[in-house]
Structure 1
Amino acid sequence: MSAPTAPFDPTRVAHLGGRFAPVTEEVDAVDLEVTGSLPRALDGVYLRNGPNPRFTPIGSYLYPLDGDGMVHGVWLSEGRARYRNRFVRTPAMRAEERAGHALWGGLESLITPDADEVGEDLAHSFKPLPDINVVRHAGRLLALAESDCPFKLGPDLDTLGRETFGDRLPAGITAHPKTDPVTGEMAVFCYALEPPYLTWSLLGPDGGVRRGPTAVPGADEPQMIHDMALTERYLVLVLAPAYFDLDAALSGGSLLAWRPERGTRVALIPRDGGPVRWATDEAFWVWHTVNAYDDPAGGGQVVLDYVQWPSLSLGDGDDGGSGGAGRATATAHHGLTRAVLDPAAGTVRRTQLDDSRVEFPRVDDRTLSRPHRWLAVAADSGRGLDLLPGEFDALRWYDVGGSGTSTRRWSAGDLSVGEPVFAPVPGATDAGHGYWLTFATDRTDGSSRLLILDAEDPTQGPVAQIRIPVRVPLGLHGAWLPTEE
């Protein structure tokens, strides 16, 4: 096993303790305790994935990228709820379970096991980390990693194996694919440390690969890109100046270098395979997009809503609680932002919608790639609490469908909340008819629950709280999956 360059003390990593502390027990529970009234219209499962090391990490731990995947599920039907959680069991995790301890170090340590520890197939390999998101497409339930192959899960969250899409996408995809709700087509991208540094692909509604990995001209160095957006015409990728530096990492430095002098570029990639258009701007970082759409006013422009940060930082630093994004200074442009992209002129025109500390933005997924009215975020209530990066104590909703932006707020009190996910009422077509779901953890006793808020007036707080039998670590991304007919 290769050796770390410096001692690592996991007890000093904030994201391995408190509300983020990993859990190791896999639990099944039925007839969960419900406070309030569980909407009988909800029939399906809410799933959420997130970093959850199976064993005490060695070498390093870089939140939010490191950590094994654990998917938590709450099934709702006929006013009742049941819960199950399962690790995403990659071959590397199974090898560590046989050994009884961690064998791979975190991303920054580059510790890998030898053949005598894990066999020739896994020796000196990078550990898969499908710990960021979970989606369903064409009947496949996928736990997603940051630019790697996802792992397919069974209906009860058991790991079925690596998904390569019939060997058409052997390098994998990133953690935030986008599905066009009208065509059923799923758009994906993948970045790499070697050429081609950035590729994109399209999957049909049947799950087949319609367009295999296609290199993006102009992406000439390895850069980190976490999320994407989709319109009727384009894939939208924001290339911030976060560059991978393997030489620095091998000599004990940072794996990622922030180079603001390079600026931020936005790639507008035609879904029909036409020439890629670029728009350029000063440097900023984007963890998560809200949505994008072709401007209905015409002119060929693209509207992109997203959460903007002035720079990228990772780990436990005093960095704004954005799930890794840098803390905004008093003069930096940050927060919820709308950009109008002009493919012909190559320009970006940005408008700040809110400068509050927010993250994990979501819309009704039925509006993806088309104009949306409502969006929701996890937010800071402004009470000055000592919250870690990626931790929030409020939810906010923005109505961006009119001439201005209006905001609704709900403070979660003693609860730390995560990403809000929309669950529509079956048969309803408006985003106001449904419910917002999120996991929450009580900061006073560590207990967790699933919150259900009525979208018609979420400021009234949860109409139902479902008690989870184990603590759910604060995590990343999830999905509401209605029961398939």
Structure 2
Amino acid sequence: MTSHHAPFDPTRVAHLNGRFAPVTEEVDEADLHVVGELPEGLDGVYLRNGPNPRFTPIGSYLYPIDGDGMIHGVRLSQGRARYRNRFVRTPAMRAEEKAGRALWGGVESLIMPGPDQVGEELANNFKPLPDINVVQHAGRLLALAESDCPYRMSPELDTLGKETFDGGLPAGITAHPKIDPVTGEMTVFCYALEPPYLTWSVIAPDGTVSRGPTPVDGVEDPRMIHDMALTSRYLVLVLAPAVFDLDAAMKGGSFLAWRPERGTRVALIPRDGGPVRWADDEAFWLWHTVNAYDTPDEGRVVLDYVQWPALSLGQSPEPGPAAHGAHSGLTRAVIDPAAGTVRRTQLDDTRVELPRIDDRGIGRPHRHLATAAGSGRTEGLLPGEYDALRWYDLEDGTASSRLWAAGDLSVGEPVFAPTPGTHDSTDGHWLTYATDRTDHTSWLLVLPASDPAQGPVARVRIPVRVPLGLHGTWLPTEE
């Protein structure tokens, strides 16, 4: 199936060039060069997945949705570092490797190869794109797509195959499941182009599906939802008016339509299976939540997230051509399930994204969080590119912050690596990949959580450039 679009020139797509350009070399290198000193207690592997087309894209390219997955991993132990990167090899990628070129177009082009090119099983289907995130649960290391089956990876980052959770989740999940650190359950959701448009599920600590795909009542059209939040009582989903329009895409229009007149709705889905509670608000968009938690006294839900006024994908993960000025910043929403209302407060209007907390605090009140940020000192940054890291302290509902400006480095999502045996979110280190804008060398940065604004205590030189974006995880070595 092929739709009609204007000629596509990948050399003119900013997110296929420069610091975002894909790499094709798979590398395994030990004894990496370290500037500074790696902390003695830092023992584990930092993994990050992100869009990395195996071949030059055809038809269209929509960052950060398009692109094959590549996982970059740095193993840290006893003050030494080792690097390995591998593609997430789906059957579609293997077919393209056999052909020596791209066979599928970007999601907006709807170019799909026929059975004469890839066989009956792969023909005329969307290409799997497990290129957004990587998580581990119940012994499974999963490369995650936007709304599709994840792919299971080995500890050495070899692709083991599509993961359906023993057939319990055949349609897959989205890229941001949440693991409850208290129960060990992984709660997931999945959106679709046909009814039921939205479902949620639960995967037990042992990896079995304890709740199969459960439709979310009250969803009347197919909407894009990138992230979720979890509290001790609820799964929290924010349904912005980003509506899929396949008919428009077939005629050369946008696959996603922004329809602000429909407003944004927040679904509070009881984890015990009770009726969905809805709250309505004016239209806004979010890519990423920080965290959510219940207020025991009034039965409300607090949700922290990074807010955008609208979604306009174009060639950017941020809205519109003037995305830097359209940012709404770090926001807190208090959702009242009884009244069906949302009360929003802007905590900070600084340009930030990719927020993370100490994952051991998911679903419970949080105090500290980290983000990628703009320092305001660098000209020419692309949407989705950041030159600083910012840390927030939300004590008493305020949002004091500290900034580390990265100079010539463009930085990615910060991920927290706690010191073993401790429970304090300031006792550990923040990790992120960074790429130097002057020479395109890439580094793993290690910053102390006790005083991150002082900058890295160690920088690990990565032997290949790591393209900017997207999400990662820290997996400590099991004793």
- Structure 2 CA distance, aligned partners of 1:436 and 1:452? 6
How far the C-alpha of 1:192 sits from its partner, in A, is 0.1
How far the C-alpha of 1:483 sits from its partner, in A, is 1.1
How far the C-alpha of 1:484 sits from its partner, in A, is 2.2
Contact 2:3 2:250 (C-alpha < 8 Å) held by counterparts: no
How far the C-alpha of 1:333 sits from its partner, in A, is 7.4
Structure 1, residues 393-427: CA drift from partner, whole Å, max 9, x if none? 00000001224221011000000000000000000
Q: Which residue of 2 aligns with 1:410?
A: 404
Contact 1:63 1:324 (C-alpha < 8 Å) held by counterparts: no
Q: Which residue of 1 aligns with 2:41?
A: 41
Alignment of 1:83-98 (within 5 A): 83-98=83-98
Letter in 2 for 1:368: I
How far the C-alpha of 1:44 sits from its partner, in A, is 0.5
Q: Which residue of 2 aligns with 1:311?
A: 310
Letter in 1 for 2:472: G
Of 375, 386, 393, which residue of structure 2 is paired with 1:381? 375
Report the TM-score, using the length of structure 1 for normalisation: 0.97
- Structure 2 CA distance, aligned partners of 1:187 and 1:305? 18
Q: Which residue of 1 aligns with 2:300?
A: 301
- Structure 1 CA distance, aligned partners of 2:319 and 2:42? 34
**1:421 pairs with 2:415:** yes
**1:338 pairs with 2:332:** yes
How far the C-alpha of 1:125 sits from its partner, in A, is 1.1
Number of residue pairs matched by the alignment: 478
Contact 2:180 2:186 (C-alpha < 8 Å) held by counterparts: yes
- Structure 1 CA distance, aligned partners of 2:315 and 2:382? 8
Contact 1:104 1:111 (C-alpha < 8 Å) held by counterparts: yes
**1:433 pairs with 2:427:** yes
How far the C-alpha of 1:383 sits from its partner, in A, is 1.3
Of 390, 398, 404, which residue of structure 1 is paired with 2:384? 390
How far the C-alpha of 1:315 sits from its partner, in A, is 3.2
- Give 3-state SS (helix, strand or coil) of 2:226's partner: coil
> Alignment RMSD, CA only?
1.2
- Give 3-state SS (helix, strand or coil) of 1:462's partner: coil
- Structure 2 CA distance, aligned partners of 1:279 and 1:3? 38
Letter in 1 for 2:129: L
How far the C-alpha of 1:84 sits from its partner, in A, is 0.2
How far the C-alpha of 1:225 sits from its partner, in A, is 0.2
How far the C-alpha of 1:389 sits from its partner, in A, is 1.1
- Structure 2 CA distance, aligned partners of 1:109 and 1:329? 27
How far the C-alpha of 1:50 sits from its partner, in A, is 0.3
Contact 1:30 1:81 (C-alpha < 8 Å) held by counterparts: yes
Q: Which residue of 2 aligns with 1:20?
A: 20
Structure 1, residues 18-69: CA drift from partner, whole Å, max 9, x if none? 0000000000000000000101101110000000000000000001100000
Contact 2:242 2:256 (C-alpha < 8 Å) held by counterparts: yes
Q: Which residue of 2 aligns with 1:320?
A: none
Of 465, 469, 476, which residue of structure 2 is paired with 1:475? 469
**1:354 pairs with 2:348:** yes
The more displaced of 209-218 and 377-386 is 377-386
Contact 1:375 1:398 (C-alpha < 8 Å) held by counterparts: yes
- Structure 2 CA distance, aligned partners of 1:275 and 1:168? 23
How far the C-alpha of 1:373 sits from its partner, in A, is 0.7
How far the C-alpha of 1:449 sits from its partner, in A, is 0.3
- Structure 1 CA distance, aligned partners of 2:284 and 2:458? 39
Q: Which residue of 2 aligns with 1:204?
A: 204
Letter in 1 for 2:381: L
Contact 2:229 2:292 (C-alpha < 8 Å) held by counterparts: yes
Q: Which residue of 2 aligns with 1:55?
A: 55
Letter in 2 for 1:213: P
Contact 2:75 2:81 (C-alpha < 8 Å) held by counterparts: yes
Residues 3 and 199 of structure 1, relative CA distance in 2, 3 Å threshold: closer
Q: Which residue of 1 aligns with 2:229?
A: 229
Alignment of 1:58-207 (within 5 A): 58-207=58-207
Letter in 1 for 2:291: N
Q: Which residue of 2 aligns with 1:251?
A: 251
Unaligned runs of 5+ in 1: 318-322
- Structure 2 CA distance, aligned partners of 1:280 and 1:328? 25
Report the TM-score, using the length of structure 2 for normalisation: 0.98
Q: Identity across aligned pairs (percent)?
A: 77
Contact 1:132 1:144 (C-alpha < 8 Å) held by counterparts: yes
- Structure 1 CA distance, aligned partners of 2:202 and 2:92? 29
Residues 12 and 329 of structure 1, relative CA distance in 2, 3 Å threshold: closer
Letter in 2 for 1:217: D
- Structure 2 CA distance, aligned partners of 1:251 and 1:131? 27
Unaligned runs of 5+ in 2: none
Q: Which residue of 2 aligns with 1:261?
A: 261
How far the C-alpha of 1:313 sits from its partner, in A, is 1.1
Residues 329 and 426 of structure 1, relative CA distance in 2, 3 Å threshold: closer
- Structure 1 CA distance, aligned partners of 2:160 and 2:33? 31
- Give 3-state SS (helix, strand or coil) of 2:380's partner: coil
Letter in 2 for 1:348: V
Contact 2:327 2:351 (C-alpha < 8 Å) held by counterparts: no
Q: Which residue of 2 aligns with 1:452?
A: 446
Letter in 2 for 1:218: G
How far the C-alpha of 1:166 sits from its partner, in A, is 0.7
Letter in 1 for 2:118: V
Contact 2:3 2:251 (C-alpha < 8 Å) held by counterparts: no
Letter in 1 for 2:464: V
Q: Which residue of 2 aligns with 1:275?
A: 275
- Structure 2 CA distance, aligned partners of 1:328 and 1:104? 29
Contact 1:4 1:111 (C-alpha < 8 Å) held by counterparts: no
- Give 3-state SS (helix, strand or coil) of 2:350's partner: coil
- Structure 2 CA distance, aligned partners of 1:385 and 1:357? 14
- Give 3-state SS (helix, strand or coil) of 1:402's partner: helix
Residues 483 and 216 of structure 1, relative CA distance in 2, 3 Å threshold: same
Contact 1:316 1:388 (C-alpha < 8 Å) held by counterparts: no
- Give 3-state SS (helix, strand or coil) of 1:431's partner: coil
- Give 3-state SS (helix, strand or coil) of 1:106's partner: coil
- Structure 2 CA distance, aligned partners of 1:449 and 1:279? 43
How far the C-alpha of 1:325 sits from its partner, in A, is 3.6
- Structure 2 CA distance, aligned partners of 1:59 and 1:119? 21
Contact 1:64 1:324 (C-alpha < 8 Å) held by counterparts: no
Q: Which residue of 2 aligns with 1:463?
A: 457
